[in-house]
Amino acid sequence: MKKVKPSLVLSDEDLKKITTYPPELQTELFHTSLAVQSPYLLAKINGEQYIVASWIAEYKKAGKAMEDIEWNEVITRHINPFKEENLLDDVAKLNVREIESLLEFCNKYGLMGEKINNISIEKSGVDTLGRRILANAKESLSYFVKETLIIQGLITTYHDIIQPLNDYYKDTNDTSIEKTIDEMELKLKQGINSKLGLVRPAINLEAKGKYLPGYTTSTLLGAIYYQFYEVVTSGKQFKECVNCGSLFIPRKSNAKFCPPFTSGEHSSCQNSYNQMKSRAKKSVRTGKKTIEEVANSLGRPLAEVRGWFD
C-alpha cells in the first residue's frame, strides 16, 4: 500500500513553487484498524444463518445478556485491511459453498461489515483505544455470500469478458463489439464505484500538531473494493492459477500460482501442482502410464503434461 510523504510547497524569490518532501513526515496513507473476532462459527439465530464470533455463542449459552459483556474479556485482534496484500486474491478464490474455507477467510480478515455498512452501531462497546468491540462480531451469512459473489462477478467480468474483448478489438478493429465492450466497462466501473464511498479521506494524527492526510474505511468491504480499484486503474490484470484455476493478481510477470494463504509460506497451489507433476513423471518413467494416460487421468491438457517432460 502507498505511503504518503506530505510535500512542503514553498515559493522562491521568483514566486516559483518548490516542492520538498520532508522524510520525517512519512507515514501510512491508509490507516485503518478493523476488528477480527476470530474464531468465527456458523449459528442459526431466529431461523437465519449468521457468522458469529464464538464468544457470542458462549455468552448466549451461559445465559448472559449482551449488556453484560465484559469488554476486556473479549479477545479481539485488529488488522489494517489495506495492508493485507492477498486480500483481493483471497476473495477471488473464496468458495462460499465451502463453509470451512469461508470461516477460514473470516478468521483471517473478519467480516464484510454488514452492520457497519447498513446501520449505525446500536451498541458500541468501546475498548481502551476507542475501537468498537461489537464491530465484526456478527453478520448474516447471506450478506457475506452475496457481497462476495458480487465482487467475484465483477472480477470475472473484468478478466473473462472485458480483457479478451479488448484484445480482440485491438487486433481486429471489429466495430460490432464496441457496444458490448462499452456496456461491460460501464457495468464494471459502476460496480466498483458504488462501493468506493466506503473509503473516505480522514486525518491521520501522527503526533501532537501533525495532521497528516490519509484514507480510512470502517469495513473490510471498503478495503476490498479499494484494492480492486487500484488493480483496474493501474491497468493490472488477473491471471488464472495453473493449479486451481482461480484468479489472482500476479506479483511477478511469470507468476503461475495464487499466492499463499499465510504470507511467508509456500503457495499451497504451487506445492500441490509440483507434487502432481512429480507423481506423473514417476509413473511415466516407471512405465506405469503413458503421457496421454497421465493427462487423461489428471484431466489436464496434453500439451501441458508433455511440457513436464521437456
- State the residues that interact with Zn ion by CB under 5 A: 241, 243-244, 258, 269
Least distance CB 244 / Zn ion (angstroms)? 3
Minimum separation from the CB atom of position 240 to Zn ion (A): 9
Cell 479481539 -> residue: 76
Q: Nearer Cβ to Zn ion, position 144 or 273?
A: 273
Q: Which is nearer to Zn ion, 226 or 273 (CB)?
A: 273
Q: Which is nearer to Zn ion, 220 or 258 (CB)?
A: 258
Rounded Cα distance, 105 and 220, in Å: 12
Spatial separation of the C-alpha atoms in residues 89 and 249, rounded to whole Å: 7
Of 94 and 258, which has the nearer Cβ to Zn ion? 258
Query: Residue 155 CB, nearest distance to Zn ion (Å)?
Result: 14
Q: How far apart are CA 305 and CA 126, in angstroms?
A: 57
Query: Nearer Cβ to Zn ion, position 104 or 127?
Result: 104
Phi, psi of 9 (to 5 degrees): -105, 120
Q: Least CB distance from residue 270 to Zn ion, whole Å?
A: 8
CB of 197 to Zn ion, least distance (A): 32
Instruction: Give the shortest CB-110-to-Zn ion separation in angstroms.
Output: 23
Dihedral of CA 277/278/282/285: which sign?
positive
Please, what is the minimum distance in Å from the beta carbon of residue 268 to Zn ion?
8
Closest approach, Cβ 267 to Zn ion, in A, equals 7
From first CA to last CA, the distance across the chain in angstroms is 40
State which residue, 37 or 243, has the beta carbon closest to Zn ion: 243
Q: Which is nearer to Zn ion, 221 or 269 (CB)?
A: 269
Q: Identify which of residues 225 and 238 has a Cβ nearer to Zn ion in the complex.
A: 238
